[in-house]
Amino acid sequence: VKNIVLIGTRYLNLLLLPILIIVFTFSDYIIFTILGSMFISGKLILQLMIINIFIFAISMPLSTQILGSGYSVISAKIGTIMFLLNIILNFLFIPSYFLGYKMLNFGAEGAAFATLISTIVYSLLLRYYSFKIFGTPLKIVQNLLFLIITLSIIFAMFYIKTSFDISGLIEF
């Protein structure tokens, strides 16, 4: 089962990483094409949500491993932590005031950021319990290297995008 989880995670990375990079890099063009110029301000939300979807998707083999092995209580606890953290962060990030206290007032971007943080915590908890229960390797060095390569590719795509200005092809 351990090997199947690792292989599943690897294939999900290979499948979803190009989609992540393309959507993240060209989010403004995607929003313009699908929704129009009125929604260009939602670029950051799309970028945060595509990262969220990527992290959630590559965590699914670990979740399935835990659930499929009869550890539904642990899975429920992890889900509850994610749910409660998301609600708390939403109260912190979205409104300008809550019960008379000043909050961060990030609006929709705050909701996307709160969801991303909750998903990262969810993924880390799944990895921890998968390692603790089944001995599924964490591969910290490999994951950090993967993150560095991914960020380098995104940076290169942004550089190419700004160096060869194609915004003239689309009027915002």
Are 45 and 108 spatial neighbours (Cβ–Cβ below 8 Å)? yes
Predicted confidence (pLDDT) per residue in 24-79, tens digit: 989 999 999 999 999 999 999 999 999 999 999 999 999 999 999 999 999 999 99
Q: How many CA atoms lie within 13 A of 66 on its CB side?
A: 24
Residue 172 has pLDDT above 70, yes or no: no
* pLDDT > 70: percent of the chain: 94
**Crossing angle of helices 107-134 and 72-93, rounded to 10°:** 160
- In whole angstroms, give the CA distance from residue 97 to residue 132: 41
Q: Is the pLDDT of residue 158 over 90?
A: no
Give the model's pLDDT for residue 144: 76
Token pair listed for 12:
């999900």
The pLDDT score that the predictor gives to residue 116 is 94
Distance CA 154, CA 35 (A): 24
In the three-class reduction of DSSP (H, G, I as helix; E, B as strand; rest coil), residue 44 is classed as helix
pTM (two decimals): 0.85
